[in-house]
Amino acid sequence: MKRGTKILTGGLATVVAASMAAFGAPGAYAAGTVSGDVDITNTETVQVLMGADGTIDAQRVYEQLVLKGSGRVDIANPVSAKGLRNLDGFGGFDERDGQMRIKTSVDGSKKYRSVSDYTKDLPLKIAISYELDGKKISPQDVVGKSGTLTVRYTVTNVTGRAQDVTFKDGDGKDETAQENVVIPMVGSLTTVLPSSFTEVKSAEANAAGDGRGGTQLSFTMTLIPPIGSDTATFGYTAKVKDARIPKATMSALPVNPLESPSFKGGAASYQGGAETGQTLTAGATEIDANVLKLRDGAADLVAGLIQLRDGASDLQAGLNGRAAPGSRELAAGAGQLDAGARKLQKGAGDLESGLSQAAAGGPELLSGVAKLKAGAEALDQGLATFNGTVVPGLTSIRDGATALIAGVQGPVSTNLDNVVNYADGAIQLVSNSPTMDQGEKTAILQALGGVKQTAQGVKASLNSTTAPTGFLYGLMAIQGGAGQLIAGVDGQTSAAAAGVDGTIKNGVAQLIGGLGQLEDKGGDLADGLGKLSAGASQLSAGTGDLTEGTSKLKSGSAELASGLGDAAIGSGRLAAGLNEAADGAPALPEGADRLSEEGMSQLIDAGNSTAKDYGLKYALIEAGAARAADAQPYGSPEGAVALTAYKFEIAGADDTGSKNVTRGIAAVLLLGAAAGAAALRRRIA
């Protein structure tokens, strides 16, 4: 008897303690006509006695009202009036209209305990099934059998009622839905399997030894949609021998999931999920707007790519058809120009050297002319010795004049013609160059023009009959006079006197005249040779600049030809790539449009769905929490701390036939725990 008392009292204390932990410690409330400082706590504990098959044999509600503090109270506590009994003595209660009236003074602590029949609907429904070796069997038929026993418990929260709940969608707008809202309930079922149960298996239980060879199983239930389900199914399988069904005890209580330490984190996660859904919807909506902008921009990109493709095709045609071949021709012409310029530079150097030598010989020539004139004048005085001395000198003079004339009018004139021709060719090449800028063309053309003009001037001076080339005329006169003198000497040997007075005299006179003219024009000759030498020097310098320019032109045109060749190849690749890009570009706006319709729209829908789903679940949790505040079956005095617990005692099955006796003892122990042994014996009787 004592053992049974301890078990029942301990189990009930556990349920009450859990309920108090879930709802918090008592606080100070103004209850009815309370005066002073009195705290009121009301606990309703429902006890349900069940058979092993899940049928309900009895159900009672135990009320405990605790007053603490100092003052006077006049309160009404709602109770079940059916079978109402006082657990603290033999006296009854002042009960009117389903309310237990208590009027008393408090100084410290007072307790009022009662038991009555439970007349409300139970919040939980328990169904139990048994199978032996895979076949359904009643619990009483299991007794004494051996085999593989499977026991399954199904606990359902049946407190649901339809009500409207409000939540927000992905855009933050309120939506309302009618949902089944339950009172949030949690519970645990425990049973101890005897040592005859072996190979115990359970996917849902926490298992431990009981210290006597048996196995203690504990199952937990979270009957709080949407944190859990409103239905929990669990059980165990074991090998049994000479079996009996052990009893089981299930404790359950309503909880506020927004305040319970065990569940408020889960509730907050649903709230966070709803907020995340709203954020996702807003973000996806903004991204979708940007995707549509991308679609519009992609359309412009397509048009630009098509234009770029057409331009690249034109560029490829121009480079391959005109620019690259022209650059190769330019490079070839620049090579020829460079070779001609180098020849021109060499001829100009030779001309400069020859004219420098001529200019240097001018003073000696003038000195010789002066001496020749003096000799001619002396000849006029001494013709008697003419044949012996003058004729050889005349011959030398004639031959020298002839050679000098040939030298001046021959190679020099030819070289000047070559200079003019080279200059003309260079001018034409530079003028037609497509790669040189205008500044480079102008500088080179001025240098070439100067070279050409200088050469032409020198040649004209050599062929002119006026100064300074009257020098040639004098040379010709000397040549002719000397020839006549020689002819006269040779033809008149028999008439020397007549010859001296006639032909020779005339020749000497002509010689003297020519030498005088030559002497007079000698200064001009020297000046002309100096100018020719200076011009030739400028010509040489100009051809040097020309050679440097044509060298650069040759190198640059070669690089240009190479670069344009590479550019032609690259333009071909560019055109091919742009063709592919232009062909594929229309897919960009189409893809952006599809992304908006098939991707972002779905993402927006997903965000909206997430926000609504989590929002609805959190709204259900809030609605359930509101119902948990009023979960007491009968209610409490105004302002009291209200606690509720349910205890389901599921009987076992064995061969003693003492099921009802055991339950009766348990009920009496609960009813008379504080009434004393005599009262307890009377109730058993």
What integer is the mean pLDDT of 287-300? 70
CA nearest 14: which of 230, 190, 170, 180?
190
Q: What per-residue confidence (pLDDT) applies to 46?
A: 97
Query: 425-472, pLDDT tens digit by residue?
Result: 878 888 888 877 888 889 888 877 887 887 787 677 666 655 446 556
Q: What's phi and psi for 80, nearest 5 deg?
A: -85, 120
Is 80 exceeded by the pLDDT of residue 421? yes
What CATH fold (topology level) applies to the domain 124-256?
A: Immunoglobulin-like (2.60.40)
Where helices occur in 585-600 by DSSP H, the ranges are 587-594
The SS3 of residue 81 is coil
Q: Would you tell me the crossing angle of helices 601-628 and 264-318 to the nearest 10 degrees? A: 170
The pTM is what? Answer: 0.49
Query: 181-206, pLDDT tens digit by residue?
Result: 999 999 999 999 999 999 999 999 99
Tokens describing residue 437 = 């800028």
- Higher per-residue confidence, 607 vs 500: 607
Q: What per-residue confidence (pLDDT) applies to 394?
A: 64
- Higher per-residue confidence, 665 vs 37: 37
Tokens describing residue 526 = 């020297």
Q: What per-residue confidence (pLDDT) applies to 679?
A: 31
Q: Which segment, 37-46, 90-99, 323-332, is predicted with the most confidence on average?
A: 37-46
Token pair 């645990």: residue: 188
Query: 545-565, pLDDT tens digit by residue?
Result: 878 888 888 888 888 888 878
Is 90 exceeded by the pLDDT of residue 294? no
Q: What per-residue confidence (pLDDT) applies to 379?
A: 64
Q: Which residues contact 60 (CB under 8 A, 6 or more apart)?
A: 46, 47, 83, 115, 116, 117, 118, 667, 670
For residue 584, what are the CA distances in angstroms to 304, 314, 381, 580, 622?
13, 21, 113, 6, 54
Average pLDDT, the chain: 79
- Higher per-residue confidence, 151 vs 458: 151
CA nearest 377: which of 520, 499, 515?
515
Give the span between the Cα atoms of 55 and 406, in whole angstroms.
154
Is 90 exceeded by the pLDDT of residue 240? yes
Q: What per-residue confidence (pLDDT) applies to 564?
A: 79
**3-state SS of the chain: helix, strand, coil percent to 5?**
55, 25, 20
Is 70 exceeded by the pLDDT of residue 281? no
Query: 353-382, pLDDT tens digit by residue?
Result: 877 776 676 677 667 767 777 877 776 776
CA nearest 426: which of 319, 347, 322?
347
Q: What per-residue confidence (pLDDT) applies to 425?
A: 85
